[in-house]
Amino acid sequence: MAEEELEVTILEPKLKRKSKRKSKKSESESKRGSVDPAGVHVSEVDHLIDTAWMTPRDHSVFEFRDINYIIGKGKKEKQILTNVNGRISDGSTVAILGPSGAGKTSLLKALSLGITSGKATGIIELNGKKLTNQGFKDHCFLVEQYDHHWSFLTCKETLMYAASLLLGPGNHTSVVENIIDKMGLQSCKDTKIGNDFVQGLSGGQKRRLSIAIALLKKPAVIMLDEPTSGLDSAASVAIVGELRKLAKSENLIVIMTIHQPSTKVYNDFDQVMLMSKGRQAYMGKAASAHEYFETIGYPMMQMTNPADFLVDLVNADFTSEDSVLSILDEWEHRTSKIQMNNDQKMVVDSDDDDFHQLMRRKKSFLHELNVLFRRHAVLIARDPILYVGRIVVLLIFCTIFALAYWSSRDKVQAQAINFYYANSWPISLGSMFAVVAVFALNAEFKSVMREVKNGMIHPVTYITAKSILVLPVMLLFAVAALSTGVYSILGIKANYATYAGMFAISIFVFECIAEVLSVAFINPLLGMLCYLSVWFTAFLFAGTFLPADDLPGVIRWIYYAMPLAYTFDAFSYHVFSSEDWPSCIPDENAGAVCVDFSQVQGEEPSTLILQVLSKIVPNVTGEDNRMEAMGIILGMALAYKLLYVTIFLFKSS
């Protein structure tokens, strides 16, 4: 993938070096009171901070050289980033400034190995070793501009699950409470995060929660895309100030893109990188930026926000383009002596990097599975859209549809066709309602991708936990659809457990289709449209309206590739064969189905009725194909599940 074309390097940490003096100091401090991430001494009674989480890391250096990024081909080719360089030591907070379109976010994506289209080249190193995707998961954390959280968990629950995933087994309550205090989330810690449909945390609180999760991991490098977006000025100052204190006390490297920070926020930056047109205009100490620009003929007026001054200098939309280009060329000229030679640029295959084997966090598969199983069980119970809402809607509509077929309760041959349709609608409705799963699972996928990117979980663990939890939900769908409508109102005699199992399998295949479409498209609306197209195709080619033999040969395969034809055939045999059908004397008032059983010997009445019904409804065979049909449907479900897993793993790689 494109992100692996960026070479990344990481200084090998000195794992065996442990200072005895530091250990003794830690012991003495733990007796007096623990030290929070910002270096503030607090009472041991108030905060019993996890000592492993508190242990400062070794020194780190993050370096990137000749980062270039090109999109398009031929005449449409466009250079997004051009020879961007930088070297950042631990304890530093670096801000990437620039006007809109300067390439700030593209650079952050490149540094976080998140380029998915176009071609990115260059060298990225952490502690002298190239940074790989696995290395990023182990040592870095990316806080994206848009927050994707679990809408129906509270703020504290989100952090507790994150702590369990990042820090391993143990009681992390004290760590979480400390982070909540630092991020100013105390007032909303028991508030659900919410989404577009459910009120919850504000945009600023969600942003602070994203940063809090990053701080839980305490990586070597934290990258943030617009961390103050949605925050008021006071919150912005507090958050950036806290990030700077943590960078100093925990030897972290903090890199952020930011749009027009206030003077107070700017003063908390150790370094700034000024960008325009994908090129650097300055990289150095924040406090010295105005001095540099004064030396090249651009003095800063007194009482001016330094950030506004810098951005205005290189904003080609409102400043002379010649002036902007001269500033960019001047910086390139001044730094050309320390830049790499162009011949040294390369596209790097990073698969041979074994650095991550030394520092990978020790987390067992079972522990991670247990955490995800508990978390998603809570989400399934709380989220009204994904499963609970569908169960309720299915119960209501199947009851209404059963009432519409009230006359079919009589089980007379004149009602045979209506009885067939009365048992077909529940599965049709249940499978159609899975369209909402495309929308909900798409949002869930984005949250999972964030966690995978930052090394919190492995995608296989999530898929395993979620798949186990979804299976009993399919049975709940069956119970909701069959109990009141089919069994209580229509009063059928067919074996309930068998019917529920067949219903669950038939719903499961459509759930797997919804999963595939939820990850296949970034925009969930496209996935929902595709799902509806699949469902209508399945319904049309179910054999209810047209027999397979009447279909043109070029599209006849669709009949056999869609699950509903097998479902309707199996369901019809199951419900018809369990009823006691009275004989019918053909006359002018008889219905479309009317068989005088006394005239036919050696055949079950239900079989005779199904044989007649098959001439009206083509997908009814009158044969007991239940096991074969359910096996075919289950095979389809597993095929779609495999496709879902393949797409999921590819996109999260």
In Å, how far are 566, 568, 572 from 606, measured between CA atoms?
19, 16, 10
HSE, side-chain direction, 13 A CA sphere, residue 528? 13
Nearest Cα to Cα of residue 392 among 349, 356, 430, 366: 430
3-state SS of 173-209? HHHHHHHHHHCCCHHHCCCECCCCCCCCCCHHHHHHH
Task: Please check whether residues 318 and 376 belong to one and the same domain.
Answer: no
Is 416 inside any structural domain? yes
Q: What's the maximum distance between 2 C-alpha atoms anywhere in the chain?
A: 110
**What's the CA gap between 251 and 499, in Å, rounded?**
61
Question: Phi first, then psi: what are they for 94, rounded to 5°?
Answer: -120, 130
Let me know if 552 is exposed, middle or buried by CB neighbors in 10 A (0-12, 13-18, 19+).
exposed
Q: DSSP 3-state assignment of 629?
A: helix
Nearest Cα to Cα of residue 517 among 385, 390, 648, 372: 648
pLDDT at 588 (0 to 100): 65
**What's the CA gap between 554 and 78, in Å, rounded?**
44
Residue 12 identity: E
Structure-block tokens of residue 420: 């067939």
CA dihedral 565, 571, 574, 575 (to 10 degrees): -130
Is 30 inside any structural domain? yes
Task: Please check whether residues 11 and 130 belong to one and the same domain.
Answer: yes
**What's the CA gap between 345 and 585, in Å, rounded?**
90
pLDDT at 141 (0 to 100): 93
Question: Phi first, then psi: what are they for 385, rounded to 5°?
Answer: -85, -50
8-state DSSP, 344: G
Task: Please check whether residues 22 and 106 belong to one and the same domain.
Answer: yes
Is 519 inside any structural domain? yes
**What's the CA gap between 323 and 53, in Å, rounded?**
49
Number of folded domains in the chain? Answer: 2
Q: Is the separation of the CB atoms in 61 and 81 below 8 Å?
A: no
In Å, how far are 11, 32, 191, 506 from 558, measured between CA atoms?
56, 74, 48, 17
HSE, side-chain direction, 13 A CA sphere, residue 562? 26
Let me know if 41 is exposed, middle or buried by CB neighbors in 10 A (0-12, 13-18, 19+).
exposed
Q: Is the separation of the CB atoms in 626 and 571 below 8 Å?
A: no
Residue 70 identity: I
Q: Is the separation of the CB atoms in 27 and 145 below 8 Å?
A: no
Let me know if 109 is exposed, middle or buried by CB neighbors in 10 A (0-12, 13-18, 19+).
buried
Which of 341, 375, 395 marks a domain boundary? Answer: 341
pLDDT at 33 (0 to 100): 38
Is 610 inside any structural domain? no
Is 360 inside any structural domain? no
Nearest Cα to Cα of residue 149 among 138, 134, 162: 162
**What's the CA gap between 95 and 271, in Å, rounded?**
6
Is 617 inside any structural domain? no
Task: Please check whether residues 333 and 425 belong to one and the same domain.
Answer: no
Task: Please check whether residues 131 and 275 belong to one and the same domain.
Answer: yes
Task: Please check whether residues 538 and 634 belong to one and the same domain.
Answer: yes
3-state SS of 448-512? HHHHHHCCCCCHHHHHHHHHHHHHHHHHHHHHHHHHHHHHHHCCCCCCHHHHHHHHHHHHHHHHH
In Å, how far are 91, 92, 242, 634 from 463, measured between CA atoms?
37, 38, 36, 18
Residue 173 identity: T
Task: Please check whether residues 146 and 240 belong to one and the same domain.
Answer: yes
Residues of the chain with pLDDT below 50 are 1-55, 339-361
141, β-bridge pairs: 222
**What's the CA gap between 268 and 94, in Å, rounded?**
9
Task: Please check whether residues 321 and 391 belong to one and the same domain.
Answer: no
Task: Please check whether residues 463 and 554 belong to one and the same domain.
Answer: yes
Question: Phi first, then psi: what are they for 127, rounded to 5°?
Answer: 60, 40
> Which domain does 86 fall in, by range?
2-153+219-341
**Count, residues in the chain:** 653
**What's the CA gap between 1 and 4, in Å, rounded?**
6
In Å, how far are 348, 419, 544, 558, 584 from 573, measured between CA atoms?
61, 12, 15, 23, 20
- Please list, residue by residue across 532-549, b when 16 or more beta carbons sit within 10 angstroms of its beta carbon and e when fewer do: eebbeebbebbbbeeeee
Nearest Cα to Cα of residue 469 among 461, 481, 458: 461
pLDDT at 26 (0 to 100): 43
Rg of the chain (C-alpha set): 32
- H or E element that contains 642: helix 626-651
Q: Is the separation of the CB atoms in 30 and 160 below 8 Å?
A: no
Is 579 inside any structural domain? no
- Please list, residue by residue across 478-517, b when 16 or more beta carbons sit within 10 angstroms of its beta carbon and e when fewer do: bbbbbbbbbbebbebebeeeebbbbbbbbbbbbbbbbbbb
pLDDT at 360 (0 to 100): 45
Q: For the chain, give the percent of residues with pLDDT over 90.
A: 45
Is 23 inside any structural domain? yes
**What's the CA gap between 423 and 385, in Å, rounded?**
25
Q: Pairing between strand 129-130 and 271-276?
A: unpaired
Task: Please check whether residues 253 and 126 belong to one and the same domain.
Answer: yes
**What's the CA gap between 270 and 256, in Å, rounded?**
12
Q: Pairing between strand 271-276 and 7-11?
A: unpaired
Task: Assign residue 110 the CATH number of its domain.
Answer: 3.40.50.300
Task: Please check whether residues 141 and 24 belong to one and the same domain.
Answer: yes
Task: Please check whether residues 303 and 401 belong to one and the same domain.
Answer: no
**What's the CA gap between 123 and 526, in Å, rounded?**
37
How far does CA 450 lie from the centroid of its chain?
A: 6
Which of 341, 375, 402 marks a domain boundary? Answer: 341
- H or E element that contains 52: helix 51-54
